[in-house]
Amino acid sequence: MTLLADTKRPSKHPLAGTPMSGAEMIVQVLADEGVDAIFGYSGGAILPTYDAIFRYNESHSKEEEIRLIVPATEQGAGFMAAGYARSTGKVGVSLVTSGPGATNSVTPVRDCHADSVPIVLICGQVGRAAIGTDAFQEAPVFNIMSACAKHVFLVTDETKLEATVRTAFEIARSGRPGPVVIDIPKDVQRAEGVFQGSGLLSLRGYEERLEAVNRAAVPDEHVQAFFRLLGDAERPLIYAGGGVNNGNAAPELRAFAERFRIPVVTTLMGIGTMDTTSELSLHMLGMHGTAYANYAVEDCDFLFAVGARFDDRVAGKVKEFAPHAKIAHLDVDASEIGKVKIVNWAQVSDVKRGLAQLLKGGKSFKKDFSRWLTHVKRLKVEHALNYNRESDQIQAEEVLSLLQEITKGDAIVTTGVGQHQMWAAQYLAFTHPRSFITSGSMGTMGFGLPAAIGAQIANPGKLVIDVDGDGSIRMNYGELETLTTYDIPVKVLLLNNFGDGMVRQWQDLFHEQRYSGTDKTLHKKDFVRAVQADGFEFAKRVSNRAEVRQALEEFTRFPGPAFLEVLIDQHEHVYPMVGPGMGYSDMIVGKYIKPREKTEGRVDASASF
C-alpha cells in the first residue's frame, strides 16, 4: 500500500512535524475525525492507547475532550458504538484489548456489517515479534474479522499507522457503510514517529469502485425509462430499506413520495425514513409487517425498491413476492441488483443523489393515482393492527400504544430482538429518520440496552428508550450498571413474559407447544431489586392494566436512568406473521386482525384504475 495525499483536509495540520508515539497518533487522528466518544474496555495490549487518551484529555479543555465510556463487556462497547453510529450517521468507535477483547467484539462487528453501520474497532495486539506464537491474549484477529467486517487492517509498519487509522474512517463511512477493524500490536503503539497530519492509504480497487459510484448519475435515458414504467403503472408502491437511512436520504424519499403521491412500505431497517404518521405510509412489510402493507405488495403493479435488498424476511417466497409488479431498484451496492429478484430497471448510485435526480427528471411527469390511494387507505382501515383488548392480562401492544401516546413519535427507540422488537416496530410511530435502532439482519439479542447507551451519548438532549424483553436483556444485563455509573438517562422498558417469546411462538405454532429451552418461569431474578442494587432511583414493576399509563408517564418524565418492568401475557403472539415457506397470501393474522378472503378484495392484476 502506498500513501496518498488527503485532499479533503487543510494542507498543513497544526501538529504536522510533531514527534509522537503511535498511541498518540491514534488519539490525534480520532480527534481530527470528530470523535467525541469512545466505548471500550482496557487491557495490556491496548494500554498505551488508553494512556494516550488520558493524557490527551488532560491537556485539552472539557469541550475538546474525547469522552471514554467503559462498559461491562467488549460486546457492549461494540453495540454502544453501533447505537452512536445508527442514531447519527457518524462513525462510532470501540477500543478493546487483544485476544478475548477482540473476539468478544466479533458479534457487534458482524451485526454492523449485516446492517451497513459505520464503526471503527481498534484492537490491541501482542507485539510483532510474538504474533503467531500463541502468546498471552493473542488471537488471529485479521483472520477472524475478515469474514465479518467491511475491511480489516493489521498494522505491522509503524510509519503507516497514522494513515491507516485515517483510512479506516474513510472506508467505514463511504459507499455502503460498514465496520472497519484495526489490529495494532503493542510495540507499534509505543513506537516513536513524526505526525504528518494528513495522508491516506491507497486501496486502488476500492477507490475505483467508490469513484464510479460517486460519479454515477442517472442518465437521461434511464430517467425516461423509469417514468415510462411509472406512467404505465396504476398501482405503484415504494419499498424503502435501511439504505435510505444509511444514505441520509429520508428527505428525498419523502419528497419523492409526496410529489408523485406514491404510498411507501419500509423494511425493519427502513423504519423512520418515511414519517409513519403520514397518509402515504403503510409502515413495515414482511414477516411481521402490517397486513395492509403486505396486501399492498400483493396488489401493486410497480414496485420501486430504494436502498433495500429483498431479504428473506421481506421477500419470503421470492416468486410470489409482488407477483403482479414490474420492479425498479436503486441502490449504492451493485451486488444487490438482481441478487434475489430480477428487476426491470436499475441504477447503482448513492440513493440520496439518485432520488434527487429522479425527482428533478420527473418535473413534467403527471399521473393521477388517487384510485390506488383510495384502495390503499381502505386496506389500512379494514386490516388495521389489532390485539386482544378484553384480556385481564397486560398486552404488550397496549403498553406500546400508550407509550406512543406519550412520546408522540419523538423518541429514539432501541430494542433487543424478539417479540418486543416486532411489537415496537408495529405500534410505535417514528416521525424522524434514525429514530428506530434495532438489530436487523443478525437479530442479535442483547443489542437494545448498549445501543441505547450509544444513542444517548450521541444525542444528549433526546429521550432515548430501550424497549426490551426479559430474554434479550439478560444477554448484556451488565450494561444497566453502565447507565448509573455515568448517569446516562436512558429509559429501559422491560416487557417481561417469562420466556423467549418469539421462539415460544414458533413452538406453539409449529412444534406442538414443546417449550424446549425457552421457559424462564423458573428463573429467580427480581429485575427491580437487581437494578436498584445497580443504583437506579426509578425502578418499578407493573402487573395491573390500570396502572400502566401512569407508570409510563412517570417513567418517561424521570430525569435520570429509569427502569420499568411490565409483566405481559406469556401466551401472546405477534401478528401478522408470514410463516416459514409461506408467501404473503398465506399470512397468518391471528384472531384480532381482519384477513381478506382468498378470492375477494384483492386487486385483479388486469384491472385498470
From the list 12, 54, 136, 224, the catalytic residue is 136
Residues 428 and 531 in one domain: yes
From the list 24, 25, 33, 74, the catalytic residue is 74
Whether 347 is catalytic: no
User: pLDDT-derived band of residue 605, with 50, 70 and 90 as boundaries?
Assistant: very low
Whether 258 is catalytic: no
- Distance separating alpha carbons of residues 29 and 251, to the nearest angstrom: 32
Residues 96 and 225 in one domain: no
Residue 456 has pLDDT above 60, yes or no: yes
Number of domains in the chain: 3
Taking phi over 0 as left and psi of -120 to 50 as alpha, with beta for the rest, 143 belongs to alpha
Q: Kindly give, in sequence order, each residue whose CB lies less than 8 Å from that of residue 66, ignoring residues fewer than 6 positions away.
A: 27, 30, 31, 35, 36, 37, 38, 53, 56, 57
Residues 413 and 378 in one domain: no
Residues 332 and 249 in one domain: yes
From the list 80, 274, 422, 502, the catalytic residue is 502
Whether 287 is catalytic: no
Average pLDDT over residues 289-318: 96
- 192-194 and 19-21 beta bridge pairing: antiparallel
User: pLDDT-derived band of residue 6, with 50, 70 and 90 as boundaries?
Assistant: low
Residues 188 and 289 in one domain: no
Final residue of a structural domain among 160, 184, 213: 213
From the list 150, 160, 186, 491, the catalytic residue is 186
pLDDT in tens, 249-291: 999 999 999 999 999 999 999 999 999 999 999 999 999 999 9
Final residue of a structural domain among 358, 382, 406: 382
From the list 1, 65, 137, 207, the catalytic residue is 137
Q: What is the DSSP string of 280-305?
A: TEEEE-STTS-HHHHHHHHH-SEEEE
- Distance separating alpha carbons of residues 235 and 373, to the nearest angstrom: 8
pLDDT in tens, 170-183: 999 999 999 999 99
Whether 587 is catalytic: no
Residues 74 and 22 in one domain: yes
Q: Which three cell numbers stand for residue 231?
A: 406512467
**273 domain-assigned:** yes
Question: Is the separation of the CB atoms in 419 and 411 below 8 Å?
Answer: no
Residues 173 and 192 in one domain: yes
pTM of the model: 0.95
Domain that holds residue 166: 3-213
CATH number at residue 555: 3.40.50.970
Q: Which three cell numbers stand for residue 224?
A: 425516461
Whether 186 is catalytic: yes
Residue 608 has pLDDT above 50, yes or no: no
pLDDT in tens, 539-578: 999 999 999 999 999 999 999 999 999 999 999 999 999 9
